[in-house]
Amino acid sequence: MLGKILLTLAVIVIAFFFVRQRDMKNRTDSARPKTRTALPKTPEAQEDNTLSADLRLGAYMFLVLVIGIGIALYYFQWQDDHSILTVRLHREGQARPIEYQIYKYQLAERSFTTLDGILVTVASSERMEVEGL
């Protein structure tokens, strides 16, 4: 999951620098007058500049929104994975089950790792009961 986030951030940074370089190149080309007389700015040209600025602002706001949603979803997934569950193993011949505390992401189909770092594999004759899902 962390790799996906880093890859996405790398693509965003590369795209940002690519667009910025292209924008700077267009500014240097437009800064050089093609004729000796400078033309006064028309209202249509000013409207185009404000529309371009509004679109740029909208794109940045959308980018911030998408990154914010991604960060929030990653945090909630992490929080859910680190919730603590209680696992009870019922064995034949024992009156009381054995209880373990685990993180949710450590739970597999027939094994789990406790909070203390002990790897427990459940036998086919044992019954596993998970509390907190």
* Predicted local distance difference test score (pLDDT) of residue 39: 52
Q: Is residue 55 part of a domain?
A: yes
Q: Is 30 helix (H, G, I), strand (E, B) or coil?
A: helix
The torsion angles phi and psi of 14, rounded to 5 degrees, stand at -65, -45
**pLDDT tens digit sequence for 38-86:** 555 666 666 667 778 888 888 899 999 999 999 999 999 999 999 999 9
Q: Is residue 113 part of a domain?
A: yes
Indicate the number of domains in the chain. 3
Give the DSSP letter of residue 129.
Answer: E
Determine the Cα–Cα distance for residues 128 and 109; give it in Å rounded to an integer.
10
Determine the Cα–Cα distance for residues 50 and 52; give it in Å rounded to an integer.
5
102: which residues sit within 8 A by CB, 6+ positions away? 84, 85, 87, 112, 113, 114, 115
* Predicted local distance difference test score (pLDDT) of residue 30: 65
Residues 72 and 88 grouped into a single domain: no
Residues 77 and 91 grouped into a single domain: no
Residues 90 and 103 grouped into a single domain: yes
Residues 77 and 48 grouped into a single domain: yes
Query: Residue 81 is which amino acid?
Result: D
Q: Is residue 2 part of a domain?
A: yes
Range of the domain at 10: 1-30
Q: Is residue 36 part of a domain?
A: no
* Predicted local distance difference test score (pLDDT) of residue 36: 53
Q: Is residue 39 part of a domain?
A: no
Q: Find tokens 């054995």 and name the residue.
A: 98
Q: Is 95 helix (H, G, I), strand (E, B) or coil?
A: coil
Residues 14 and 26 grouped into a single domain: yes
Residues 127 and 88 grouped into a single domain: yes
Residues 119 and 88 grouped into a single domain: yes
Q: Is residue 125 part of a domain?
A: yes
Q: Is residue 48 part of a domain?
A: yes
Q: Is residue 122 part of a domain?
A: yes
Residues 88 and 57 grouped into a single domain: no
DSSP E strands, the chain = 84-90, 98-107, 111-114, 119-121, 127-131
